Structure 1
Amino acid sequence: MAAPTSDFSQGVRDYGASWLPGGAAPYGNFPDYSRFHPPEGRVRLLPAGLLSRLFPHRHGGPLLGLDVGCNSGELSIALYRHLRDCGDNRDSPEGSVAWKDLNLLCCDIDRDLIERAKQKSPFSGCVSRHAAHIMDSETREPLLHSYLSKFGRSAFDICFCMSVTMWIHLNHGDSGLVTFLSCLASKCAYLLVEPQPWKCYRAAARRLRKLGRNDFDHFRSLTINGDMTEKITQILTKDCAMEFLCCFGSTGWDRSLLLFKSNR
């Protein structure tokens, strides 16, 4: 796995703020992300009672979710509220099921964003937040193992990866993207992904150049490019033993919400 760009390596190592003035954030850790991509733009696409539909015969024990790249937490809270409270599944013999026992682990590379998220989280008992570099197995594996072991579990029920894949791809290259997706696929029963389109890659590189910085280390050499929704679907279905279930639609900023199921 390639090392991050040298200009930003200290920020990753310390899990501190490494965003730059002028609208550039080399790891997607924008300090005011929810202002230009509000959580409602994603949540409104998800059907009511999604968890009841995915787990119609689940009785007893909490559902566990993992939110990778949670930023300062606004989307995590919106997802939690929607998934916990919208439990009306009329096709289920149990009828209305509200998933009150939902636990969510949220992680982000930026320690400062995690601290902001902790300060304003209304669900501190059920939503845990930790600074972690998801591509660093030495920090990732102990965190995930410790969290899952508290519930006697070895995997999450659902994982959320919302506008994260591009930053992994730009900083770790093609092999890093495949490794990242394989890691998530191995740790959950369902995976909800929001890939950034290729135009976002070009925009991210352009923002760095405007600040007099070099391109991302891997931008010019990426062979996984073009239709990123299609490419990520191919990786997950062909390399990661996952089945594509559906697309819930596209946000107002032209990003699709894709749901996959593990075949393991």
Structure 2
Amino acid sequence: METHVPHVNKEENEDPGAAPYGNFINYYTFNPPENRLSLIPETLLEDIELGSERGLILDVGCNSGDLSVALYKHLLHEEASGSDFSKREVYLLGFDMDQDLILRAQNSNPFPQNIQFVPLDITDDPGSRTVLESYLGGFGCPRFHLCTCFAVTMWVHLNHGDAAFLSLLSRLASLCEFLLLEAQPWKCYRSAARRLRKLGRSDFDHFKTLEIRGDTAAHAREHLEKQCSMDLVQSFGNTTWDRSLLLFKRR
């Protein structure tokens, strides 16, 4: 499938804040996986009643896959038990709009039988829907058991506006039984816009006209609960970057 991939130039390689779509080249050097994993219980799959049965995980905006793989190992207790991943019926699909990042994820994937990475743009509704429904169909499942969306909402919001922000949340809710969401707070929006201006670029198309402002996590929760038939079941606290990790469940 073809998907729009924004050009990443030398400047964006060197400045971790310069990627206008959040497709930072060395993202995990300044926000390592441990910042999130320290808050997520290793028993999460058991807690959402996956246990030993087959489960599907979707990681939205996976970047180079470092967090996807670390989360997979974390949830399957690989380091503690030395379990054989080939015998576990848990599979993860990660996607990102940047094909270069996906290539890095594919090349460094230690569990290709259980983890797949594909280039995909979540805002391309017809195209991404086809790919995700095809993946689910291969397992005979109507939706993913768990969807993770770490630090993606702001980039969709800034580049595509309020309607796209809400549409993203609705789309994620339709894809999964449980949604683990990290929405960037408003101060991150201001910082992203400031970095872009500092580089002499035009501001984000929608930044000044956004009506959804302030506590973006609260806005996301309200939409998921009122419009998407999901309930907040647990907050895992805030990351070192002061972003809340919220777990929602389909009613």
* Same fold? TM cut 0.5: yes
Residue among 62, 66, 70 paired with 2:62:
70
| Residue 174 of structure 1 pairs with residue 166 of structure 2 | no
1:195-250 CA-partner distances (Å, limit 9, x unpaired): 11101000111111111111111000111110112111111111111101111011
Q: How far has the Cα of 1:17 moved from its partner?
A: 4.3
What is the rounded CA distance, in whole Å, between the counterparts of 2:211 and 2:91 in structure 1?
37
Q: Is the 8 A contact 2:56 2:90 kept in 1?
A: yes
Structure 1 counterpart SS, 2:142: coil
Aligned to 1:15: 5
1:2-36 CA-partner distances (Å, limit 9, x unpaired): xxxxxxxxxx9542543653431111000000011
Q: For 1:231-250, what aligned pairs fall within 5 Å after superposition?
A: 231-250=219-238
Residue among 24, 27, 37 paired with 1:33:
27
Structure 1 counterpart SS, 2:184: coil
Aligned to 2:39: 45
What is the rounded CA distance, in whole Å, between the counterparts of 2:4 and 2:215 in structure 1?
34
Q: How far has the Cα of 1:41 moved from its partner?
A: 0.8
1:50-106 CA-partner distances (Å, limit 9, x unpaired): 1111116x664x2001000000011001110011127x9xxxxxxxxx993210010
| Residue 140 of structure 1 pairs with residue 128 of structure 2 | yes
What is the rounded CA distance, in whole Å, between the counterparts of 2:61 and 2:229 in structure 1?
23
TM-score, with structure 2 as normaliser = 0.91
* % same residue: 49
Q: How far has the Cα of 1:167 moved from its partner?
A: 0.4
| Superposed CA RMSD | 2.0
1:129-152 CA-partner distances (Å, limit 9, x unpaired): 000111102320111011111101
TM-score, with structure 1 as normaliser = 0.86
What is the rounded CA distance, in whole Å, between the counterparts of 1:78 and 1:48 in structure 2?
11
Q: For 1:1-264, what aligned pairs fall within 5 Å after superposition?
A: 13-15=3-5, 17-18=7-8, 20-21=11-12, 22=15, 23-55=17-49, 60=53, 62-85=54-77, 100-263=88-251
Q: Is the 8 A contact 1:17 1:111 kept in 2?
A: no
Structure 2 counterpart SS, 1:150: helix
Structure 2 counterpart SS, 1:244: strand
Q: Which runs of 5+ in 2 are unaligned?
A: none
CA 55–17 in structure 1, closer or farther in 2 if over 3 Å, else same: farther
Which region of structure 1 is more displaced relative to structure 2, 231-240 or 197-206? 231-240
Q: Which runs of 5+ in 1 are unaligned?
A: 1-11, 89-97
